[in-house]
A and B are shown apart, each in its own frame.
Chain A
Amino acid sequence: MLNQDDKELLIQFKETPNKEKAFTAIIKKYQERLYWHIRRMVVEHEDANDVLQNMFVKVWNGLANFREDSQLYTWLYRIATNESLTFLEQQKRRSSISIDEEDTGLSNKVKASEGFNANKLEWKLQLAIQKLPEKQRIVFNLRYYDELPYEQMSKILETSEGALKASYHHAAKKIEDYIRNH
């Protein structure tokens, strides 16, 4: 069920004179959460900005058809996740990176980030996350950073709650092992 705030914003969005105002309010409300969700996946700010803007264009085009049987943010997260995955896929194809090399590419981006310090735990954590397979990485980020309940994650990723839980536990163990050994 849609929460009251979002419901009102959607009503406003459907009224032509308030369309832009309502959409701006939706952007303001969710931009930060969505940005960080995307940024953790694509690592670089410029890429995150491109993906965020593209996803909001898609939201603008599709919002009128949004079925109100789920939370707006669940729907937004799903678009953000898909856009990020598409972006990563394109990047892989452009640079002819194999699946084995994919984590190296993202790890290198982490290492090239401003303020990177290999000795600091927060950076080690980021490197460990990039070592995870794509799906586990998304699951870990959604649960650990965004603190989403499995029920919501299940709607975003269209995966059963049990599978998500198993995936998160595997990911958390791998990350802990990586940090302890590096």
Chain B
Amino acid sequence: MILNQIAPEIKNPYQIVDGYFDSVANDIFLRIASKKVTYKLPEEYFETLPSQIFNKVNKNEIVEELEGVAPFLNSFKKENPYKIPADYFTDFNIKQVAQTKIVSIKKAPLKWLKYVAAAFFAGILVTGGLQLYSNKGVSKIDIQASIQSLPEAELLKGIDAEKTYLVSTDDAFTSPLEDLNNLQNEIQSVSDEEIEVYLKENNVSNEETNSPNS
């Protein structure tokens, strides 16, 4: 009553934009539609869902299985304590793979060649010693014993192992000529210290190469 007396012409003081009621239904639909867009799925979610579920089931099976056999192992974190060089997996690429054949053959330690080289030098020492002392009239060296003291079985084993390795590296093989070249290179690369160590290890000592009576 009082309001009517104060301002009889204004029943509703609020104002709305023109055509509000014409567009309100549309606006509501637009908002519903926009809400749909706000939910995002990881890429290929549905494609990978079955395998994710399978992995989870498999994981549970593994835990349950271990629980019945060695439950203590379930309490471990399955972390690798081993270290790898930084960026190893980023840097590992096909070029590295393509070079492998060459690298692996070069890197393969031609151990048997070292044995052969060492035996070769041992032979020289034995023969040289024999020559020297026979000239001096000192009693001769027991060549047979010296040769027998060389680990022949190990030599053969080394040769067998190396053969298998070269065969197992696919197309990689070496010709006898290449072997000879390798042997020559290898002989040159064997130091005096290595030969001495080899001779000591195999009891081909200086005493043996000298006269047993000296």
Contact = CB atoms under 8 A, between A and B. Distances in A.
Contacts of B59: 147
A101 interface: no
Contacts of A168: 65, 69
B116 to A, nearest CB: 15
Interface string A45-74: 100011011101110110000000000000
- Which of B70, B85, B157, B165 has the most A CB atoms < 10 Å from its CB? B70
Interface stretch (B15-23, B92-100, B119-127): B92-100
Contacts of B55: 147
Contact of B85 (A23, A45, A116): A45
B104 A61 contact: no
Interface in B154-210: 154, 157-158, 160-161, 164-165, 168-170
Nearest to A120: B81
A169 B69 contact: yes
B72 A176 contact: yes
Contact of B104 (A45, A50, A113, A145): A50
Contacts of A36: 80
A68 B168 CA distance: 25
Contacts of B158: 94
B172 to A, nearest CB: 10
Contacts of A94: 109, 111, 158, 161
A94 B112 CA distance: 9
Interface of B: 47, 55, 58-59, 62, 65-66, 69-70, 72-73, 76-85, 88-89, 92-94, 96-97, 100-101, 103-104, 107, 109, 111, 154, 157-158, 160-161, 164-165, 168-170
23 contacts: A35-B88, A39-B82, A40-B80, A45-B82, A53-B97, A53-B104, A56-B100, A57-B100, A60-B97, A90-B164, A93-B164, A113-B81, A115-B81, A120-B81, A126-B81, A144-B66, A144-B73, A145-B80, A172-B69, A172-B73, A173-B70, A175-B70, A180-B72
